[in-house]
Amino acid sequence: MNRLFVVNKPIFISSNNYMYHIKRKYNTKKVGFSGTLDPFATGTLIVATGAYTKLFQYLKKSPKRYRATMWLGVESKSLDIENIISINNINQLDLKNIQEVFSNIVGKIKYLPPKYSAKKIDGKKAYELARGNIDFKQKEIESIIYDIKLLNYNHPFLTFEITVSEGAYIRSIAQIIASNLNIKATLSSLHRINEGDFFYENEKALNPFDYLKIPKNNFLGSDDILELGKKIDSSFFQNRKDGIYLVETKNFFSIVEIKGEELKYRLNRLPKFTN
């Protein structure tokens, strides 16, 4: 079975472990997902089965939009509700100050990812090192905040909606907000609303062609040449410019790369979407 769809990941389960449920539900062995959600986070998770698991790097998954709630006065090692260190009462914040802080962080920002994250450090996941009390250094990453707006402030809980570039860590961005407000805070909830044009729609099967970020190219030869992966060059294509392209035959599609006159098959003979 080859299927691309969106699941609504529930709370308190890792994205990886939730795939066992998906395997059982769809009676398939080959399942993959893109864009890890933390165990305490919920929402949109892009999932594929069969041959479509190879497509993740070619999908349009940005920008991403989240709804997040900060618990003010709370400190946590993992920057969420799973590893709380302390809970303190703090004075209510001024709404104007909150809005100013939000306005000031829109744009490009640099920061350190959470230590409790799936980011790889010398081949190991950061959260594995953190749980083992192993000290390690991280490199700064850069993200873009396209928009952030306050949804509700019911002290000590502050809820906002934020739109960011791919790879952004909302837990770390929440720490930037807290620092600019001169308080301690942690995320008490996080829900991913969408990734690009991917929204949760009751796990409806999606046509990959509607979500690929690469242009289509027309193949000028016979279908069997492409489907059999025969050695060909750029002269077989309508567009001969260097680049990565989607190419389709009657029943299959391929992703190819043209570089000069040479052609490389990145993915070949993937079955087309059928309802």
* Residue tagged active-site, from 38, 122, 147, 210: 38
Distance CA 137, CA 228 (A): 47
Are the C-beta atoms of residues 146 and 106 closer than 8 Å to each other?
yes
The full 3-state SS of the chain, as one line of letters, equals CCEEEEEEECCCCCHHHHHHHHHHHHCCCCEEEECCCCCCCEEEEEEEEHHHHHHHHHECCCCEEEEEEEEECEEECCCCCCCEEEECCCCCCCHHHHHHHHHHHCEEEEECCCCCCCCEECCEEHHHHHHCCCCCCCCCEEEEEEEEEEEEEECCEEEEEEEECCCCCHHHHHHHHHHHCCCCEEEEEEEEEEECCEECCCCCCCCHHHCECCCECCECCCHHHHHCCCCCEHHHECCCCCEEEEEECCCEEEEEEEECCEEEEEEEEEECCCC
Are the C-beta atoms of residues 274 and 235 closer than 8 Å to each other?
no
Q: Which residues pair with 250 in a beta bridge?
A: none
Question: Is 223 assigned a catalytic role?
Answer: no
Catalytic site positions: 38
